[in-house]
């Protein structure tokens, strides 16, 4: 079986594997290569940062216990600089809260031992989200802000976003949003589950040339929360990821 998952065999997704157990690193590299991904392996945390900065991989598989710089530190630093998904590997279930919680902000995790089938499934799911963002970017660059199809909607229980009409309804009431509020909501919703930094949000929703600060994002998030959260002081839909930005829970 030699299936590529990028939809574009000329540009396979690049995955950085950071794992210091040689046998596991080999197995990871073998399994992911077989899926058509381009793999770089390193066993060292500091080295991982160097490689990530140089290569800008599409996804990082990151072990927690590493020599020189542990996976928590690596994840925290990567998050400040880049937005690719990070899948963490841990041997201890008591680390899970830290991994997916506010402190580190990885996108997903697996507890050792795990099957390669499970790992591949998680990697595919994370890359699928990235592809959606990329397609939007490509559209935006061509001046086609991902023209929605008539009737295209994003539905999250009682929250319905109608892309064609640029309308949102919450608990069956149609609410009117300012244009940027609507764009922000769509961007968050389309990337549900992903940690999105303020800078990334600014760039995608307001554009490269916007010279207001990232406070703009916070203010718009606050307005949205007042409209779509049951309790805007304890938001469950647009969640703050401390020190980074926001995540939409679908
Ligand atoms: Ca390790």
Ligand 1 centroid vs 159 CA: distance in angstroms?
Answer: 42
Alpha carbon distance 64, 71 (integer Å): 4
pLDDT (0 to 100) of residue 134 = 64
Ligand 1 centroid to Cα of residue 69, in Å, is 11
pLDDT, tens only, 18-46: 999 999 999 999 999 999 999 999 999 99
Cα 123 to averaged position of ligand 1 atoms, centre (Å): 19
Ordered DSSP codes for 47-102: HHHHHHHHH--SEEEEESS-SSS-HHHHHHHHHHH----EEEEES-GGGHHHHHST
The confidence score (pLDDT) of residue 147 equals 53
User: Would you state the pLDDT for residue 19?
Assistant: 97
Within 13 Å, how many C-alpha atoms sit on residue 127's CB side?
A: 24
Residue 71 CA, ligand 1 centroid: distance in Å = 9
Instruction: Confirm whether 3-134 and 149-248 share one CATH topology.
Output: no
Could you tell me the distance, in angstroms and rounded to a whole number, from the CA of residue 3 to the centre of ligand 1?
29
Q: How far apart are the CA of 105 and the centre of ligand 1, in A?
A: 19
Which residues have C-beta under 5 Å from ligand 1, the single-atom ion? Answer: 20, 63, 65
Cα separation of 198 and 146, whole Å?
A: 21
Tell me the CATH number for domain 149-248. 1.10.10.10
Distance 64 CA to ligand 1 centre (A): 6
Low-confidence ranges of the chain (pLDDT < 50): 1-5
- List the domain boundaries for the chain: 3-134, 149-248
Per-residue pLDDT, 8: 61
Could you tell me the CA-to-CA distances from 42 to 63, 71, 79, 185, 187 in Å, in that order?
A: 11, 12, 19, 37, 33
Distance, CA 125 to ligand 1 centroid (Å)? 24
Please tell me the CATH superfamily of domain 3-134, with its number. Response regulator (3.40.50.2300)
pLDDT at 4: 42
19 CA → ligand 1 middle, Å = 6
In angstroms, what is the span from residue 124 Cα to ligand 1's centroid? Answer: 23
Ligand 1: centre distance to CA 139 (Å): 40
Give the alpha-carbon dihedral of 159, 162, 167, 171, to 10 degrees: -20
């Amino acid at each position: 079986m030699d299936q590529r998952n990028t939809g574009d065999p000329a540009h396979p997704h690049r995955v950085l594997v950071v794992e210091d157990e040689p046998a596991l690193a080999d197995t990871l590299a073998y399994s992911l290569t077989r899926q058509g991904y381009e793999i770089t392996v390193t066993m060292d945390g500091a080295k991982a940062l160097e490689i990530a900065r140089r290569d800008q991989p599409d996804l990082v598989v990151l072990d927690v216990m590493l020599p020189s710089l542990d996976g928590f530190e690596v994840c925290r630093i990567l998050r400040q600089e880049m937005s690719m998904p990070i899948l963490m590997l841990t041997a201890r279930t008591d680390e899970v809260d830290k991994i997916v919680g506010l402190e580190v902000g990885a996108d997903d995790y697996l507890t050792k031992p795990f099957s390669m089938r499970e790992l591949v499934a998680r990697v595919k799911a994370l890359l699928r989200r990235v592809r959606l963002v990329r397609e939007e970017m490509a559209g935006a660059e061509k001046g086609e802000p991902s023209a929605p199809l008539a009737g295209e909607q994003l539905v999250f229980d009682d929250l319905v976003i109608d892309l064609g009409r640029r309308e949102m309804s919450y608990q069956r009431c149609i609410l009117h949003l300012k244009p940027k509020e609507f764009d922000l909501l769509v961007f968050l919703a389309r990337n549900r589950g992903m940690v999105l930094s303020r800078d990334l949000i600014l760039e995608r929703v307001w554009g490269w040339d916007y010279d207001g600060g990232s406070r703009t994002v916070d203010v718009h998030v606050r307005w949205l929360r007042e409209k779509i959260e049951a309790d805007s002081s304890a938001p469950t839909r647009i969640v703050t990821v401390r020190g980074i930005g926001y995540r939409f829970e679908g």
